Chain A
Amino acid sequence: MIIDTQNLDHRAINEAIRKAGNDCEITGCLGQRFLCAGMTGGNVTISGGIPGNALGAYLNGGTVTVRSNAQDAVGDTMNAGEIVIHGNVGDAVGYAMRGGKIYVQGDAGYRAGIHMKAYREKIPVLVIGGKAGSFLGEYQAGGVIVVLGLTENDRRIVGNFPGTGMHGGKMILRSECRDVVFPGQVTARAATPEDFKEIETYVSEYCALFGGSTKEILDSPFTVVTPDSKNPYRQLYVAN
């Protein structure tokens, strides 16, 4: 079923999605927010126009595929399911995400994966095919953020201050990261063969979605960033 969203607001669109049993294609959207918010299953493809902020917020199952760029706060607080963006995303993708997967073909803006968290079997995964802006994984508490840096330009794989306030989870960057400054409270190390097994899972999923060669992408140094438990945030702001 195709839903033409021209002149519909976000409430009307979400209502139409629910009526279609969460299986539909959306065309003509122009910045309507909260699309697919709280959806629990099904397959929604946004194939024309650009969805607004907080796409798939509180997503709790199913798949949302976007055939264009997406704006800010994609997958805000999502709990399960999958969001696939065939383009770039704005700021704060995966904000406070606590489960499920987000795959971005291109670049991400600032604060990707801010406040991501994990609990037992709930381990959220955010894979960014291009490059990431500053404050990647700010206050990250759990889950996995992968940045592949496949966009061809002279920008660094990540902007300034990655992992600021990070205290859980892991970031994996496809680079030696010699020119990246990490805060003192995290450890950045070269990926081990054990890490590569995990990385291969994400990269092959990425290539299945967007094309490209898993082998070629894996043929590169990777850096794994985790919190440094020996150097915690004690007295970071005030000595009391």
Chain B
Amino acid sequence: MNMREGEVRIPSGCAIAAVISKEGKRMTAEKIMDAMKPMHDRSNGLGGGFAGYGIYPEYRDFYAFHLFFDSRDTRKRCEAFLKEGFEIVRGETIPTRKIPAITDEPIIWRYFVSPLRSVLADLQLDEKEFVARTVMKINTEMKGAYVFSSGKNMGTFKAVGYTEDVGVFYRLDEYEGYSWTAHGRYPTNTPGWWGGAHPFTLLDYSVVHNGEISSYDANRRFMEMFGYKCTLQTDTEVITYILDYLIRRQGLTPTEAANVIAAPFWTTIDGKRDAYEKAKLQYLRTVFPSLLVTGPFSIVLGFDGGLMALNDRLKLRSMVVGELDDKVFIASEEAAIRAMEPNAGKIWSPAGGEPVIVAVKEGAY
């Protein structure tokens, strides 16, 4: 018997998983879908999603916008708006399968676009900044339209439902990528709708997150000063924007960004013997105090050519890493890694605040 929401309490937490080939070998999403099965009980069916990298090689030079629309009218309005700033080389519905587990889907489209040179010159903006601003504009000003993916040669696929079903719904067995991340959602603060499922993305950055950050408002206020608008009251959204800001706009390395958001305690920094490392950690904490993310989190950040896994500095969430041949596996539970690859070796748990960065061989993606 299925009980309705409110009639049953399911003690649980979100689930995350990722797999990447360091050789850039492309794989379908079947492995990552398998990973989510043993972690089914960590989600409650109110959101699931995937990000795949290297999935659109034939359109690798174009930004792939994935959008939800509430109506045909909204889509037309949004298309007209996009045409003002972009050349649209292809626009189509994202193929889906009708399955009983996924219902009430919005209109789901993707566009492969390229910013118009004349517009960029006119605004004196670089390409990525223009794309990021366009995404913010649509998501905050165009009611009924929501961009949920906007990177090159990558795509996010998300829905309300259990993650395994979301993968079937979006026909992810038909895509091939060198890196995949996945998330099973157990929303605690927001009702759970399609846009609020993970991954959260901006440009090629995508974040899947298990946790509940307590610094959300402090982080959000700081980010809003730089034009990032948090539309969903979801903590993961602000983490995505922080990482975009630190890595793309401030030029920090992923490790340095990790040292900002999961900064070590001052006592731990004081104990560092390497003077350069110590000075650098002090510098990052001093310059970006408002971007310290507190409270429990384990995240996987996907980006063009790699990914980064990171726990909060107190490690209030679990995360396990494993390896086999060219592949690295990351998940909330070892069981999920075993589901992807029963023979994975080098199983270990990174410490709190210790980033695990995996890069694909240069030129292989």
CB-defined contacts of A110 to chain B, threshold 8 Å: 315, 351-352
Q: Say yes or no: B318 contacts A50, CB within 8 Å.
A: no
| 8 Å CB interface, A46-103 against B | 49-50, 52-53, 69, 71-72, 88, 90-91
The A interface is mostly helix, strand or loop, or mixed, namely loop
Report A23-39 residues with CB < 8 Å from chain B CB. 30-33
Contact B318 A72, beta carbon cutoff 8 Å: yes
A52-B38, A90-B349 given; A71·B271 CB < 8 A: no
For residues 171 through 201 of chain A, which have their beta carbon under 8 Å from a beta carbon of chain B?
A: 181
Known: A33-B41, A133-B349, A134-B352. A91 touches B318 (CB 8 A): yes
Known: A133-B351, A160-B268. A30 touches B38 (CB 8 A): yes
Whole-angstrom distance between the Cβ of A32 and the nearest chain B Cβ: 8
> In the complex, which residues 37-52 of chain B have their Cβ closer than 8 Å to any Cβ of chain A?
38-39, 41
Given A91-B318, A133-B315, A160-B268, also A109-B39 (CB < 8 A): no
Given contacts A31-B38, A50-B338, A69-B334, contact A134 B315 (CB under 8 A): yes
Which of B335, B339, B352 is A71 in contact with, Cβ under 8 Å? B335
A159 on the B face (CB < 8 A): yes
Query: Is B338 in contact with A181, judged by CB distance below 8 angstroms?
Result: no
Report whether A53 and B333 are in contact in the complex, using a CB–CB cutoff of 8 Å.
yes
How many B residues, CB 8 Å from partner? 21
Given contacts A30-B339, A109-B349, contact A181 B271 (CB under 8 A): yes
Interface residues of A in 114-152 (CB under 8 A from B): 133-135
Note all chain A residues with C-beta closer than 8 A to B314.
134-135
Please count how many residues in chain A sit with their CB below 8 Å of the partner chain's CB atoms.
22
Q: Which residues of B contact A133 (CB under 8 A)?
A: 315, 349, 351
Question: Would you call B94 an interface residue if the criterion is a C-beta within 8 Å of the partner chain's C-beta atoms?
Answer: no
Minimum distance in angstroms from A4 CB to a CB of chain B: 15
Contact partners of B318 in chain A: CB under 8 A: 71-72, 90-91, 109
- A53 CB to closest chain B CB (Å) equals 7
Q: B131-144 interface mask toward A, CB cutoff 8 Å, 1 = contact, 0 = none?
A: 00000000000000
User: Which of chain A's residues have a CB closer than 8 A to the CB of B41?
Assistant: 33
CB-CB contacts below 8 Å: B250-308 with A: 265, 267-268, 271
Could you jot down 8 A-B contacts, CB within 8 Å? A30-B338, A31-B333, A31-B338, A53-B333, A69-B334, A71-B335, A91-B318, A109-B318
